[in-house]
């Protein structure tokens, strides 16, 4: 029997192979145990959710949708954040579809110039002269008059028999538009899907904005609008000069930038077929801030047929 170096080396390698096999088996067993624990946890979470009442399920599923949207938008500083997107997921038999869009796709009532607000009212059917007057009223609501001019707005509201006077400060909500003197209710209703107070921008993102918003840009003609909309889907989202050129040249109020505020709309379908469409406006903080996101506004259920306005409550 050979007991030389070659034989001793073979015995040593054989022992090492056995050790590796045993270690690998232990590792596989550990991974299997972790997978089992994870599957049990998910199953228990799903069972717990299914056991809750419908109201609690709506709340938990809508919160999950917002948190997942915020996670997708919390990209590293070196990555360009998308201005819109969507995804879906299922949990405990419920289906959730999430769509998000930067608020820069809407006209900021606190920052947009008078010409853009007037342009929106014209695009929504108001006569040009009336649209200019309505826009002037919005401007008078959101800021005090110049120091060299008399403040006539409070007296105008009192003369109209209203029990309030204009804020003369930035709007805290687009719903304040309902309070502005002289604006027809039907016009305000039509304007709601196209306005915001959260974007932090005077410009609008023309790659995401609705045609009515782009039509509101100063000096925008129907022909230029149609030409731009016909090619918008093929425009590069990271080339501002090219996009602005497609608008016909330098265009005041136009940008391709996204704001840090996003509107998150969800369609939640429970296993029994009941549906709800909650909506939130969230803000994604900048680098170095502790919060993952901030909720700026929340609506339990919106009506897509009314442009995302809250559903009217039933009177019983």
| pLDDT tens digits for range 171-194 | 999 999 999 999 999 999 999 999
Q: Do the strands 279-283 and 302-303 form a parallel or antiparallel pair, or are they unpaired?
A: unpaired
Residues recorded for the chain: 316
Quote the distance between the C-alpha of residue 118 and its chain's center. Answer: 25
Q: Does 2 map to a domain? A: no
Average pLDDT for 232-249: 88
| Whether residue 204 sits in one domain with residue 83 | yes
Cα atoms in the 13 Å half-sphere on the side-chain side of 262 = 30
What's the pLDDT band for 237 if we cut at 50, 70, 90? Answer: confident
Residues 126 and 151 in one domain: yes
Same domain (yes/no): 205, 295: yes
pLDDT tens readout for residues 198-211: 999 999 999 999 99
* Secondary element (H or E) of residue 88: strand 84-91
Tell me what pLDDT residue 238 has. Answer: 85
- Which of 194-203, 234-243, 273-282 is least confident? 234-243
Q: How many CA atoms lie within 13 A of 256 on its CB side?
A: 17
pLDDT class of 56 with cuts at 50, 70, 90: confident
- Asked, for residue 122, whether it belongs to a domain, the answer is yes
Residue with tokens 């029994």: 272
> Is 6 inside any structural domain?
no
Is the model's pLDDT at 110 over the cut of 90?
yes
pLDDT band at 261 (very low <50, low <70, confident <90, very high): very high
Task: For residue range 112-170, list pLDDT tens digits in order.
Answer: 999 999 999 999 999 999 999 999 999 999 998 877 678 889 999 999 999 999 999 99
Q: Does 4 map to a domain?
A: no
Residue 274 inside a domain? The answer is yes
**Are 179 and 122 found together in one domain?**
yes
- Does one domain contain both 135 and 68? no
| pLDDT at position 148 | 64
- Model confidence at 316, pLDDT cuts 50, 70, 90, reads very low
Smallest CA-to-CA distance from 294 within 262, 257, 258, 254 is with 262
State which of 162, 197, 232 marks the end of a domain: 197
Element (H, E) at 2: none
Share of the chain above pLDDT 90, in %: 60
Identify the residue with better confidence: 131 or 58: 131
For the record, the structure tokens of 130 come out as: 């009336």
Closest by Cα among 37, 120, 9, 71 to 262: 71
Residue numbers of the domain that contains 43: 12-51
Where residue 13 falls among pLDDT bands split at 50, 70, 90?
A: very low
Please check whether residues 123 and 177 belong to one and the same domain: yes
214 within a domain of the structure (yes/no): no
CA 43: distance to chain centroid? 31
Look at the chain and report how many structural domains it folds into: 3
Residues 244 and 300 in one domain: yes
The answer as to whether 74 is a domain residue is: yes
In contact, 66 and 264? CB cutoff 8 Å: yes
Same domain for 193 and 204, yes or no, is no
- What Rg do the C-alpha atoms of the chain give, in angstroms? 29
Do 313 and 237 belong to one domain?
Answer: yes
What confidence score (pLDDT) does residue 312 get? Answer: 41
H-only helix segments in 95-233: 114-123, 128-142, 153-159, 185-191, 211-215, 222-231
Residue 84 above 80 pLDDT? yes
pLDDT higher than threshold 90 for residue 107: yes
pLDDT mean over 216-224: 93
Give yes or no: residues 297 and 264 share one domain. yes
- State both tokens at 161: 């028999």
Same domain for 159 and 179: yes
Judge whether 1 lies within some domain: no
* Integer Cα distance of 117 and 279 in angstroms: 24
Average model confidence (pLDDT) across the chain: 84
Let me know whether 205 and 80 are in one domain.
Answer: yes
Span 127-142, pLDDT tens digits: 999 999 999 999 999 9
Pick the closest to residue 136 from 119, 118, 120, 112 (CA basis).
Answer: 118
Q: Residue 114: give its domain's CATH number.
A: 1.10.40.60
């Amino acid at each position: 029997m050979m007991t030389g170096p070659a034989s001793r080396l073979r015995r040593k390698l054989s022992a090492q192979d056995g050790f590796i096999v045993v270690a690998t088996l232990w590792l596989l067993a550990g991974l299997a145990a972790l997978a089992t624990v994870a599957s049990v946890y998910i199953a228990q979470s799903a069972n717990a959710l299914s056991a809750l009442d419908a109201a609690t399920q709506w709340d938990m599923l809508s919160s999950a949708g917002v948190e997942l949207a915020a996670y997708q938008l919390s990209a590293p500083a070196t990555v360009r954040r998308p201005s819109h997107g969507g995804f879906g997921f299922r949990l405990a038999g419920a289906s959730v579809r999430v769509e998000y869009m930067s608020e820069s796709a809407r006209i900021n009532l606190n920052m947009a110039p008078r010409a853009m607000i007037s342009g929106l009212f014209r695009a929504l059917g108001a006569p040009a002269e009336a649209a200019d007057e309505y826009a002037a009223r919005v401007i008078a609501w959101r800021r005090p008059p110049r120091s060299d001019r008399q403040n006539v707005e409070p007296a105008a509201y009192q003369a109209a028999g209203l029990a309030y006077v204009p804020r003369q400060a930035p709007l805290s909500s687009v719903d304040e538009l309902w309070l502005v003197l002289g604006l027809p209710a039907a016009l305000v209703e039509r304007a709601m899907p196209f306005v915001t107070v959260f974007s932090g921008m005077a410009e609008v993102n023309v790659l995401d904005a609705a045609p009515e918003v782009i039509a509101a840009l100063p000096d925008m003609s129907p022909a230029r609008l149609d030409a731009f909309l016909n090619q918008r889907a093929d425009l590069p989202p990271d080339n501002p000069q090219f996009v602005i050129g497609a608008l016909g040249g330098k265009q005041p109020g136009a940008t391709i930038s996204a704001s840090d505020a996003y509107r998150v709309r969800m369609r939640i379908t429970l296993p029994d077929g009941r549906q709800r469409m909650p909506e939130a406006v969230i803000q994604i903080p900048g680098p170095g801030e502790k919060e993952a996101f901030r909720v700026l506004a929340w609506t339990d259920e919106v009506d897509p047929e009314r442009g995302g306005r809250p559903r009217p409550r039933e009177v019983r």
